Structure formats: structure tokens, C-alpha cells
Amino acid sequence: MDTIYKLSFIALICAALYSCGKSHVTPTVIPRADTSSTLIGDTRLVGNWAIVTDSVFYDNNKIVYHGVAGDHYKFTKYGNLYISEQNGNFIDTAIYAVTTVQVGWINTYMESNGLISTAHTTTPPLNIVRLDTANLILSQTVQASAGQHFEQITFKKIK
């Protein structure tokens, strides 16, 4: 009887060691998804918007950035905003809110030329100048210490 217990114990140890030695484990890939589950009330901006131009006027100087393939703002139905500009050299993740005439957001993650910031900053509200099923124009005017800053971003809806 003592031998049966010893053999059972040895079999149990061998089974435990064998089952713990998996050599071919495939990692689970978790897909990217919206981080919130609360739907926003105003869904007019929801969708992917390609940047056509991003014009900045600062203290009488004008800079116009022309969007390239892949430049976009993606507004989700959960209030998340994903921005990618300049061939991915500028990436922004934010939480946005819409009123009848403006959109504003709080940045939660920004990456510019490899420099990462997770500080939460607020982007001044942008006016919704034009919005239809295919076009969006946002603009803002901000008074800064060095002068007035005006920006206008023109988008086309990506289907």
C-alpha cells in the first residue's frame, strides 16, 4: 500500500511539472478600442476627417500646412479624439465635447517628433464654421502674450 502512495505522489509531481512546461504559448493580442463606454449626445462630428489645410496666423505671419495621406482627426461616438498629422510625427489623443457652435478637448496623450507628454492640457475651443456630410471647417482665435493667434483647419470626410 505504501508503494501505491509513493507511485501516486511521483505521478502527481510529474504531471504538475509537465503541465507547467508549455513551450509554445501564443500571446493574446488586445485590439485597440475606445476607452470609454458613455455615448456622447451630439454626434455631428463623429467619423474620420482628413486634413486638407491647417492655416495658422500668428502676429501677422501666416503658415499653411497642407495635409498629406494619413493626416486625420477621428472623432468617436464615445467622445474620444485621435489626431495624426505630419506623417505620424504629431499624434494626439484627447477627450472632446461639442456644443452647438464649438468643439473643445482635453489632451491626454501627445507625441511630437518622438517626445511624449501625458500631461492633461486643454485646447481652447474651436468654432464650428462649416459642417455638412462631407466638409468640416474649425477655427479659433486666441489672444496670447506675443499677439493674436488665429487658426483654421479644413477637413474632408473620409469614407
Q: What is the DSSP string of 112-138?
A: ETTEEE---EEEEEEEEEEE-SSEEEE
Residue 134: inside a domain, yes or no?
yes
> Using only C-alpha atoms, what is the Rg of the chain?
26
Print the domain residue range for 126: 37-157
Residue 21: inside a domain, yes or no?
no
Residue 22: inside a domain, yes or no?
no
Q: How many domains are there within the chain?
A: 1
Instruction: Indicate the pTM of the whole model.
Output: 0.73
Output the domain CATH number for residue 148.
Answer: 2.40.128.280
Give me the pLDDT at residue 28, please: 52
pLDDT tens digits for 31-75?
Answer: 555 556 778 889 999 999 999 999 989 877 888 989 898 899 999
Measured between its terminal Cα atoms, the distance across the chain in Å is 75
| Average pLDDT taken over every residue of the chain | 82
Residue 89: inside a domain, yes or no?
yes
Residue 30: inside a domain, yes or no?
no
Residue 60: inside a domain, yes or no?
yes
Residue 105: inside a domain, yes or no?
yes
- Kind plus residue range of the DSSP H or E element containing 103: strand 102-112
Give me the pLDDT at residue 99, please: 93
Residue 152: pLDDT band by 50, 70, 90 thresholds?
very high
Checking if the pLDDT of 14 tops 90, the result is no
Give me the pLDDT at residue 131, please: 97
Residue 11: inside a domain, yes or no?
no
Q: Closest Cα to residue 44, out of 155, 153, 131, 137? A: 131
